[in-house]
Structure 1
Amino acid sequence: MKNTKYYSLPIIALSLLFGCQKVDHEIVGKWQTVGPLSDSLFFDEVACELTFKENGRFEKFSDGGMSIQTRQTGKYQIDGDNVIFDFSDHREPWAISFKIADSRLSLSDGGQSLDFVRSDQTSEALLALPEMPSTLKEATDLLISEMSEDDKTFVATRAQDDLIMFHMGWGMGIRNRFGLWAGNKKLLSSCGSRWMHPDSASGVIINSVWKELRNDLDPSYLKDIEEIQALAKTIPVHGPDIAGKTFKEIADFLAQTASDSFLVTFDIHQREGHDTHVIFETFEGEQTLAEILSMLSFRFGFRLLYEPGKIVVSE
């Protein structure tokens, strides 16, 4: 970010000293953003509130750009035209210029600015957002409540070994949104240990969602899905049979392989007039149908669905 200043240990120590003294400055009080925040200094947020206290501490209440209530605290210091934020969950203080005029507080980093007005009430938009989860159950329930029925079915019908596919996209969102990198110790502890790595914790949360969703599936439906997945692990596919072929050619071959091996329909949903070239450059020897399907999903982004008596692959 432009004009962001980082301070050395002596300045940090000085800011901590000031944080213990009473602050006599017009910045003291609660401030709330006005207008759209699409160019927010703190990400694209619904709203942001800053409360500067006389004891040198501040509170920031926003949605963090993640559609969830996010609260941060720390110490602050006024240094000329800058206010220095020493966030409790940041490694370095952050200095940003400010100006108070006409009952408005303006924060600016030289390229972007954000305006606040004094307020004695908390934003209704923020209060309407879900609270930050502090337990595994809360995180699980929140994620499920936000899923569509199609997404619930998609997650529930994955084999447990395939949940790793969610690590980068969905998992990254969980790690950032639920503050796993920012020290949400209560949620980390609920996932196993307050010292657990955020990557591992997001995996625990995804597994919890998966188990909860599977509990809601009809047992006979789930049994059919598991049988198809188990059979797919036993069907061999030879590399030369699909190496260098187009998606349509690979799909036709896999469909024939599946129908020859067990009574399952293999459907391909392809965008009209679009022929994707899928080349297994490193595929040699023999792999199972399940491994090939996973490769299509993980490496090439195809959506793999399991239905009773049917495997569906779509672009």
Structure 2
Amino acid sequence: MKKGILLVNLGSPDSPNPKDVKRYLGEFLMDERVIDVPLWARNLLVKGIILNTRPKASAAAYQKIWWEEGSPLIVLSERLKDKVQNKVDFPVALAMRYGSMTIKNGLQELVDKGVDEVFLIPLYPQFAMATTETILVLAEEVRKQHFPDIKISDLPAFYNRPEYIEVLSNSIKRHLEGKDFDHLLFSYHGVPERHIRKSDITKSHCKIDGSCCKTPSSAHDFCYRHQCFEVTRLVAEKLNLEDGTYSTSFQSRLGFDPWLQPYTDRTIERLGKDGIKNMAIVTPAFVSDCLETLEEIAMEGQEIFHEIGGNEFTTVPCLNDDDAWVRVIADWINEWAIAETVLSE
């Protein structure tokens, strides 16, 4: 069997034009693992309300961060793919869960090169219904419908793998070197609380009560909340951060249902009111900078902090195409290839 690699990230509109943004938001928000309500309710909410009100504002946000080469998320993901390709002996393709760079196209690119065994790498450190799960479900649907003769295996959530924690910690340390900051905020993308309970394979462990994420359980293999807090804990330990000098929050909530707390915008405001004058913020739910990091955090977050009286607001870039991160991915690919070869013998 010939092996190939498919890196998969979230996706992006084709342009910051409201028409393209509306098309992208429609695909994204109609995903039943993103807005997990009955189809009739999702249609009413997304097509009846959101797509008639939000695209213009979202397009304006994209216009603020759009690069000359295109969408930052796409450009950075392509750079990562190219660097990984230079480190491994297998064809590497890139796809997005949403938008025109489809998983089908990514698999087709590999199949056209003779690949019949694919290692799919969701570019999300933590497992979540709205990220990893929706990628894997769609990839299997596409495989069955269009590529029934290929085999797909995938990289599990890597939030606690020592090599990932090390490269993330070193990146934070490097970008904050010489910076005077009083507090480091770990901001993760938010999800509705019900997603945590739906992902609980034990059907009883995840109560979101302040203790369940610290109590050992098989539920943690698929618990986004636990995995976020665990990244914070492991990085803080690696960087020898003192208690009280760092915290965890969640950004990008939508609608009126309860989402994971504390919320990032309110946390930034609270820290400013508590006397924090110089803060740094890192976004470990993403490996590539995107709208949520470049606009929501670096622009909106900074504005909130300055309005409350804060001074320095330092954002740590995502890992993007950092050479050390590229080496980690290449090592994972080679480990997979060796294991698959042994299994087939």
TM-score, normalised by the number of residues in structure 1: 0.28
Higher share of residues assigned helix: 2
Q: TM-score, normalised by structure 2?
A: 0.26
Using CA pairs under 8 Å that are at least 6 residues apart, name the structure with larger relative contact order, 1 or 2: 2
Larger Rg: 1
